[in-house]
């Protein structure tokens, strides 16, 4: 029996003597041939960090306006409406066309015309035509296109302000996700340290085994919260990347200005700015005026219309500016003019029907304007109350996070000294984590509330 013990001890000593050298040999065999030196590693990290795009909120808004498909669609609609207005304006002006035409008529054997289609056997027309149409419908069409363009511009402004809300929400979701991840990492560290503390106290016989079990459960819960925080941050970053970049790029970081000071304007300022710059009211008002000119254009069908044409060029049997008749050179160039007054008499009530349609559209546009005005008054009070409430709660959430962190520190010390139970310590950890998360969510809520106010006023409060 003694011999076996001596043999075992010798084997352990030999293993202890040769093990470091064996470890070196294994490491030498398994190590890749090219190991970056600390200097090279730091250079690679510096290059990688230099390629990270740092975004402020204004940068994100500029990228979103440039790359957002919905916003660009609204801008395109506004540009199309401007072109419609231009075309309606040019329709009121005289137009100039140059016409070239050759007409041939069949003749019989005696040289007489078989089929009368023109003024001679061969007739050549090459002349310019200045045409002008004068009627109330054209003027109404131009005015209607002008207000349609104004409504499209207002809708583009609505899309721009709505985009601001989306970007602000996504941008500060990333900022809050970063703060939550840091808090979750800190909470996970606190959970691991508390677990080690309870295990040490258990080994010393100062606490029961149930305390260690409770601490281990708490540590596992903190690790799960850390994983969820990492996932939430990843999703927030991806949502913002899809919104602002033309191609997929998640190699960026946002400025840490979530808790920077952003003042809330007074209710009077909001009401004044909303009454002056609200795009919903401007769009609804432009639609009403557009519908009014629709009615005018439809009523123009009851009135006469005048068209005037002036031609200059040739209308002759030869395609030439001059011809010879009886040995004398005669110019083929000449001019003519025509004026036509069209008086509507009967069209089976089509004009009356068009007027009725236009009046119905105008009535509906007026109702929508009234609704937009009422909604504006309600939204001013609602969104301002939301922003004011979020601001007031933000101060309390900040204080709660500070108190929860201090309570966790003191409760952990009390537990270490045997003055607090494990339930108190675990509850302090949970309270600290929840208070920090609520503080970050409250900051995002206030930022989004300010952005929603901007949809009414057009003024975005940024740090």
Give yes or no for a contact between 69 and 267, defined as CB atoms under 8 angstroms apart.
no
Q: Distance between CA atoms of 46 and 318, rounded to whole angstroms?
A: 84
pLDDT value for 276: 86
309: phi then psi, degrees, rounded to nearest 5 = -130, 145
Q: Are strands 122-134 and 252-254 parallel, antiparallel or unpaired?
A: unpaired
Which of 278, 262, 273, 269 has its CA nearest to residue 445? Answer: 262
pTM of the model: 0.74
Q: Distance between CA atoms of 383 and 262, rounded to whole angstroms?
A: 16
Q: Distance between CA atoms of 295 and 289, rounded to whole angstroms?
A: 10
CB within 8 Å of 386: residues ≥ 6 apart: 449, 452
Classify burial at 59, counting beta carbons within 10 Å of its beta carbon; exposed 0-12, middle 13-18, buried 19 or more: middle
Containing H/E element for 331?
Answer: strand 328-331
Containing H/E element for 426?
Answer: helix 422-457
User: CA angle, corner 430, sides to 388 and 189, nearest 5?
Assistant: 115
Q: Distance between CA atoms of 198 and 418, rounded to whole angstroms?
A: 11
pLDDT value for 116: 64
Give yes or no for a contact between 126 and 313, defined as CB atoms under 8 angstroms apart.
yes
Q: Distance between CA atoms of 163 and 65, rounded to whole angstroms?
A: 8
Give yes or no for a contact between 83 and 146, defined as CB atoms under 8 angstroms apart.
no
Q: Distance between CA atoms of 192 and 160, rounded to whole angstroms?
A: 48
User: In CATH, which of 1.20.1600.10, 3.40.50.880, 3.90.1530.10, 1.10.10.2520 is domain 53-93+139-301+365-457?
Assistant: 1.20.1600.10
Q: In whole angstroms, how far apart are CA 456 and each of 143, 330, 378, 382?
A: 28, 74, 11, 11
The set of long-range contacts for 206-214, using a CB threshold of 8 Å and a minimum separation of 24, is: 206/418, 207/422, 210/422, 211/422, 214/422, 214/423, 214/426
- Beta pairing partners, 97: 129
Dihedral over alpha carbons 154, 159, 161, 166 (to 10 degrees): 170
pLDDT tens sequence for the chain (463 residues): 444 443 443 443 343 433 333 333 333 333 344 444 444 544 544 444 457 888 889 999 999 999 888 899 999 999 999 999 999 999 999 999 999 988 777 776 666 656 666 777 788 889 999 999 988 989 999 999 999 999 999 999 999 999 999 999 999 999 999 999 999 999 999 889 988 988 888 888 888 888 889 889 989 999 999 999 999 999 999 999 999 998 888 888 888 788 888 888 899 989 888 888 889 999 999 999 999 999 999 999 999 999 999 999 998 888 888 888 888 888 889 999 999 999 999 999 999 999 999 999 999 999 999 999 999 999 999 999 999 999 999 999 999 999 999 999 999 899 888 888 889 989 999 999 999 999 999 999 999 999 999 888 877 765 5
pLDDT value for 201: 86
CB within 8 Å of 233: residues ≥ 6 apart: 174, 177, 178, 180, 181
- The domains of the chain are located at 53-93+139-301+365-457
CB within 8 Å of 345: residues ≥ 6 apart: none
């Amino acid at each position: 029996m003694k011999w076996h013990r001596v043999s075992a001890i010798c084997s352990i000593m030999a293993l202890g003597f040769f093990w470091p050298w064996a470890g070196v040999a294994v490491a030498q065999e398994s190590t890749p041939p090219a190991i970056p030196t600390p200097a090279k590693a730091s250079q690679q990290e510096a290059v990688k960090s230099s390629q990270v795009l740092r975004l402020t909120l204004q940068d994100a808004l500029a990228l979103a306006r440039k790359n957002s498909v919905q916003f660009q669609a609204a801008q395109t609609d506004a540009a199309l409406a401007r072109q419609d207005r231009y075309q309606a304006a040019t329709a009121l002006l005289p137009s100039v066309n140059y016409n070239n035409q050759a007409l041939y008529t069949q003749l019989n054997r005696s040289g007489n015309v078989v089929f009368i289609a023109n003024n001679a056997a061969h007739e050549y027309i090459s002349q310019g035509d200045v045409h002008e149409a004068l009627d109330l419908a054209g003027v109404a069409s131009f005015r209607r296109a002008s207000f349609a363009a104004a409504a499209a511009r207002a809708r583009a402004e609505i899309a721009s302000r709505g985009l601001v809300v989306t970007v602000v929400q996504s941008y500060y979701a990333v900022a809050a996700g970063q703060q939550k991840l840091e808090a979750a990492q800190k909470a996970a560290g606190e959970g691991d340290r508390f677990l080690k503390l309870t295990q040490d106290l258990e080994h010393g016989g100062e606490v029961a085994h149930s305390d260690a079990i409770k601490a281990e459960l708490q540590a596992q819960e903190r690790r799960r919260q850390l994983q969820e925080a990492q996932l939430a941050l990843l999703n927030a970053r991806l949502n913002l990347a899809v919104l602002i970049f033309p191609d997929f790029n998640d190699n960026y970081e946002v400025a840490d200005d979530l808790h920077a000071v952003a003042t809330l304007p007074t209710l009077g300022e909001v009401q004044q700015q909303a009454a002056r710059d609200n795009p919903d009211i401007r769009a609804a008002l432009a639609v009403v005026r557009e519908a009014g000119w629709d009615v005018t254009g439809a009523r123009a069908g009851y009135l006469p219309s005048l068209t005037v044409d002036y031609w200059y060029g040739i209308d002759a049997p030869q395609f030439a500016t001059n011809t010879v008749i009886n040995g004398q050179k005669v110019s083929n160039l000449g001019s003519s003019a025509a004026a036509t007054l069209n008086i509507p008499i009967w069209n089976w009530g089509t004009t009356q029907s068009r007027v009725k349609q236009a009046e119905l559209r105008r009535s509906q546009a007026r109702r929508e304007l009234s609704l937009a005005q009422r909604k504006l008054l309600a939204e001013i009070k609602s969104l301002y109350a939301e922003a004011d409430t979020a601001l007031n709660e933000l101060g309390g959430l900040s204080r709660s996070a500070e108190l929860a962190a201090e309570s966790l520190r003191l409760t952990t010390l009390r537990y270490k000294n045997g003055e607090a139970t494990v339930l108190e310590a675990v509850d302090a950890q949970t309270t600290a984590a929840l208070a920090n998360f609520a503080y970050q969510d409250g900051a995002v809520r206030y930022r989004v509330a300010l952005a929603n106010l901007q949809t009414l006023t057009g003024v975005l409060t940024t740090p």
